[in-house]
Amino acid sequence: MTTAARLTVSLAALCAAGALGAARAADTAPVGVTISDKGCEPANVAVVPGKSVFKIKNASKRAVEWEILKGVDVVEERENIIPGFTQTITATLDAGDYQMTCGLLSNPKGVLKVAASQPAAADAKPAAVSPMDLVGPLAEYKVYVTREIDALVTETRAFTAAVKAGKLADAQALYAPTRQHYERIEPIAELFNDLDGSMDSREDDFEKKAEDPGFTGFHRIEKGLFGDKSTAGLAPVADKLMADTEDLHRRVSGLAITPKSMVGGAADLIEEVASKKISGEEDRYSRTDLFDFQANVDGAQKIVALLDPLVQKRDPALVARVKGNFAKVDAVLAKYRNGQGFESYDKLAPEDRNRLKGPVTALAEDLSTLRGTLGID
């Protein structure tokens, strides 16, 4: 692994917004974008290169994520925008043509154009950590991601083989342990919008729900195995999942992980827990939510551990809060361990769900400040 090739530090945070009409952002005036059940309003947005501020309002009936795409690559995203809420996002964009996801995966994508112009003066921001200080953490994180993606390929091969062979009990047993590898590195896997959509989407992401032909991947197989209690008709879905997993392996192998992706990934993982795992939305048929819950926590803790020396120098109180809340989450999860796995999510007592909400919410808030603490924009 060549350090220079894999650890190119890109500190440009690419982000923007979209829906019907067109808008041009002034240096300080925010660009408003509303996500409805049908798409973005406006669907076409134009801004100048440099820093822009976007206000993304969710006017749909479900929590949504908003992404900026360059081809199939995700260059910026904001997950889990709750219905009725508005999220403000500051982004630094290079000139070029981008797309935006607008709610349901079956909705048309929006268009974002960043027209060439003289760049505005940069706003004052915290001094970034030295790129050389990030070389070690980035290299270690790439090793971690590589190990998880290798395991994902191996275990997905066994899982899909069981599905195709009609071995219902075997496939059910392999489902949750296999998915854990994806969940630990989800911020990196989500950089490839096309694969994330086909591998990890839920039926709620589509207008026709479970009947939509675009609903594939782990959760489509989950519905068959645990909802329908059958492997009938799942062979093509299993084949596609295996092909997508191998494609993800190839793409990640050649990926230079940026500081933004790594540092921001810690907050993304815990926000995923707060919005989907605690509610039980993620694995509605198998009730294996605690496997994913633990995997998201594992992935976030790995990132935090690698960044600990750098954050400790800048905000030791933040480090102490984060470690304390991780310990509280780990303690609750430990109560529901069962051999190598976890009890069904249905067995999680209401008081334990409530006990998790506080530290998980605090973690999401604290980890969202990591990029700012380290000066990574």
Q: Is residue 353 part of a domain?
A: no
Same domain, 201 and 242: yes
Does the residue 272 lie in any domain? no
Residue 251 located in a structural domain: yes
What per-residue confidence (pLDDT) applies to 122? Answer: 42
Q: What six digits make up the tokens of 26?
A: 């002034």
Shared domain for 91 and 168, answered yes or no, is no
Q: Which range among 87-96, 223-232, 271-280 has the greatest average pLDDT?
A: 223-232
- How far is Cα 23 from Cα 40, in angstroms, rounded to an integer? 13
CATH number of residue 224's parent domain: 1.20.1420.20
User: Which pair of structure tokens corresponds to residue 136?
Assistant: 């070690």
Last residue of a domain, one of 222, 239, 256: 256
Domain that holds residue 162: 130-256
Q: How confident is the model at residue 126 (pLDDT cuts 50, 70, 90)?
A: low
51 has pLDDT over 50: yes
Give the separation between CA 243 and CA 241, rounded to whole angstroms: 5
Same domain for 173 and 70: no
Residue type, 16: A
316 found inside a domain: no
Answer yes or no: is 85 within a domain. yes
User: Where is the domain boundary, 206, 231, 256?
Assistant: 256
Tell me, yes or no, whether 36 and 76 share the same domain: yes
Judged against a pLDDT cut of 70, whether residue 125 lies above it is answered with: no
Q: Can you give the CATH number for the domain in which 63 is found?
A: 2.60.40.420
| pLDDT single digits (tens) 73-91 | 887 888 778 888 888 777 7
Decide the pairing of beta strands 64-70 and 96-100: antiparallel
Query: Model confidence over 323-361: pLDDT tens digits?
Result: 999 999 999 899 999 988 999 999 888 888 888 888 898
- Pair (27, 61) in one structural domain: yes
When divided into structural domains, the chain yields a total of 2
Tens digits of per-residue pLDDT, 141-171?
999 999 999 999 999 999 999 999 999 999 9
Any idea which residue has 């329908």 for tokens?
Answer: 228
